[in-house]
Chain A
Amino acid sequence: MAIQVLIPTPLQKFTNDEASVSLEATSIDGLLQALEGRYPGIQARLCDESGKLRRFLNLYVNSEDIRFLDNQATVLSDGDEVSIVPAVAGG
């Protein structure tokens, strides 16, 4: 279950400057744990104390916002691409 994860610039200090990493996971929650396992400290940036994703972070699975899927319980499939994108202004 290889998942490709796109890492935003502010988090690349955790991933040795890698913009894209491959991890094994079957859900978003599992992916967050896998990220923490490989890059200790990264989960505290992504999630609050209760383990919930911070409200100014957006996660997408193959371009779909996980809030239109099953949030952190969203199931992942082999080859999925997950993007971590901080919220931005519009217009």
Chain B
Amino acid sequence: MTYPMPKVGFAARDRTPLLACHPVTGIPLTATLSRSTFTGLRCKECGHPYEAGARHVCEDVCFGPLEVVYDYDAIRSRVSRATIEAGPTSIWRYREFLPVEGDPIDVGTGFTPLLKADRLARRLGLSSLYIKNDGVNMPTLSFKDRVVSVALTRARELGFTTVSCASTGNLANSTAAIAAHAGLECCVFIPSDLELGKVLGTLVYNPTLMAVKGNYDQVNRLCSEVANTYGWGFVNINLRPYYSEGSKTLGYEVIEQLGWQLPDHIVAPLASGSLFTKIRKGFDEFIKVGLVDEKPVRFSGAQAEGCSPIAQAFAAGRDFITPVKPNTIAKSIAIGNPADGPYAIDIANRTGGTIAAVTDEEIIDGIKLLAEMEGVFTETAGGTTIAVLKKLVEQGKIDPSETTVAYITGNGLKTTEAIASSIGAPYTIEPQLASFHEAWERSQASHGGAAPRA
């Protein structure tokens, strides 16, 4: 089997660039570790150590996922609440907790609003509910900007000139946008049936976009094979240990925005399970270095019934995942073979949380409920989170007195197809007062709001 040679300055399959130079200045990148607080990688399963290169699995022993190792004494000596508060209003205010060596690619990612959701709380019967709204994250309106900012910073440090990813949509948007900002070549892979907003929201940055005739898991398999052959930095494959660390900032920010306190309960969507585990890691790290007092936090996860391998395993008391073939409108979380599923189950079990799934109809109702109660328009993943939040309250699995944070990870404007037939229509009127009067009377007769859909 032969493949065309990649167009970047790497030997095929080589993990190390031939000459690691800054892509713009051409200045060789040396090991400028003076500011870095990470010391290498290690297998999350067996603990085997590795150097901090572009690798993601424990290739010498067990194929477990690799994670970044930090020097927490160094972090503790450098950070305080005051130093963080004096930092930029982006994820880089937490840079000592992130695996980068030099100047980060800062496109203003992070520090998104933590909204006190009083109306939704009253509707659900909760006393203290917050929405962490990454639907307005920059630059591409999903939490993926956090992980991609970290991954592409590290990609540049490792000398990659072409970056790539396998994506359900949001990651493609983010990789293409931040690669454009950083001047990196970009080739991204998506399933061919994605929502138009996610396709256009990638193409506008002019990457090479591959729409694969298959589901996300098939796209991921293909990308693993491409990663074996081309010397590219795949943010969710050979850069995964760095990439996934970006999600920890969703934990840090909530602590800081709650006034340096932990919540009692969080609800977050589960796709691969990575986000869930990294929010937990973010909480644990702030406890470890003394930035927040320790207390129990329950972790609950949300899936769509049409792709719920983690919820199914949790319900069955299993610690392993049986893959499924996705069939849901919640495409951004439609991962049938979730790599971090076992870790998500472990966290839910250890913290006294739960993992639940909801139907596509409940997801749409969740989107509408959040929009109507809080003025936040989320995509299907956020609808899943709100629907599961509602379900857990109804089942008595969230104490009404708990401070609960629901993580909204994406923006509804990207997936308008999902709700187009489920919301009302405008009243179309003539530009005359009488026409308005008539329409207003009709609207009040049906208790206000939008017109019924024909």
**Chains A and B belong together in one complex:** yes
Task: Find out whether the CB atom of A90 lies under 8 angstroms from the CB atom of B323.
Answer: no
Write out the residue numbers on chain B whose beta carbons fall within 8 Å of the beta carbon of A57: 63
Q: How distant is B59 from chain A, measured CB to nearest CB, in Å? A: 3
Tell me the A64-91 residues at the B interface (CB within 8 Å): 65, 67-68, 83, 85-91
Contact segment of B100-108, B225-233, B433-441, B445-453: B225-233
Interface membership of B285, Cβ < 8 A: no
Q: How distant is A2 from chain B, measured CB to nearest CB, in Å? A: 13
With beta carbons under 8 angstroms apart, the residue of A4, A65, A88 that contacts B224 is A88
User: Count the A-B residue pairs with Cβ separation under 8 angstroms: how many?
Assistant: 113
CB-CB under 8 A for A90 and B339, given A56-B57, A67-B322:
yes
Interface membership of A38, Cβ < 8 A: no
Interface membership of B308, Cβ < 8 A: no
Write out the residue numbers on chain B whose beta carbons fall within 8 Å of the beta carbon of A58: 221, 337
CB-CB under 8 A for A6 and B225, given A56-B65, A58-B337:
yes
Write out the residue numbers on chain B whose beta carbons fall within 8 Å of the beta carbon of A87: 57, 63, 65, 337, 339
Interface membership of B17, Cβ < 8 A: no
Task: Find out whether the CB atom of A55 lies under 8 angstroms from the CB atom of B342.
Answer: yes
Write out the residue numbers on chain B whose beta carbons fall within 8 Å of the beta carbon of A11: 59
Task: Give the bracket for the number of chain B residues in contact with chain A.
Answer: 35 or more
Interface membership of B92, Cβ < 8 A: no
CB-CB under 8 A for A83 and B272, given A9-B228, A19-B13:
no
Task: Find out whether the CB atom of A88 lies under 8 angstroms from the CB atom of B228.
Answer: no
Considering the complex, give the chain B residue whose CB is closest to the CB of A63: B218
Tell me the A35-70 residues at the B interface (CB within 8 Å): 45-46, 54-58, 60, 63, 65, 67-68
Which of A4, A54, A60, A90 has most B Cβ within 10 Å? A90
Report how many residues on chain A are interfacial, defined by Cβ distance under 8 Å.
Answer: 31
CA distance A9 to B340 in the complex (A): 21
Task: Find out whether the CB atom of A12 lies under 8 angstroms from the CB atom of B13.
Answer: yes
CA distance A4 to B332 in the complex (A): 33
Write out the residue numbers on chain A whose beta carbons fall within 8 Å of the beta carbon of B217: 65
Task: Find out whether the CB atom of B214 lies under 8 angstroms from the CB atom of A63.
Answer: yes
Interface digits, B310-354 against A, CB 8 Å rule (1 contact, 0 not)? 000000000010110100000010010111101000000000000
Task: Find out whether the CB atom of A60 lies under 8 angstroms from the CB atom of B221.
Answer: yes
Considering the complex, give the chain B residue whose CB is closest to the CB of A12: B13
Task: Find out whether the CB atom of B13 lies under 8 angstroms from the CB atom of A88.
Answer: no
CB-CB under 8 A for A55 and B65, given A9-B228, A88-B220, A89-B272:
no
Residues of B whose CB lies within 8 Å of any CB of A are 1, 13, 15, 45, 55-57, 59, 61-65, 144, 147, 165-168, 170-171, 214, 216-218, 220-221, 223-225, 227-229, 236-237, 240, 243-244, 271-272, 274, 320, 322-323, 325, 332, 335, 337-340, 342
The 10 lowest CB-CB distance pairs between A and B, nearest first, are A10-B59, A90-B272, A87-B339, A91-B171, A86-B57, A90-B335, A85-B224, A20-B1, A89-B236, A56-B63
Residues of A whose CB lies within 8 Å of any CB of B are 4, 6-12, 17, 19-20, 45-46, 54-58, 60, 63, 65, 67-68, 83, 85-91
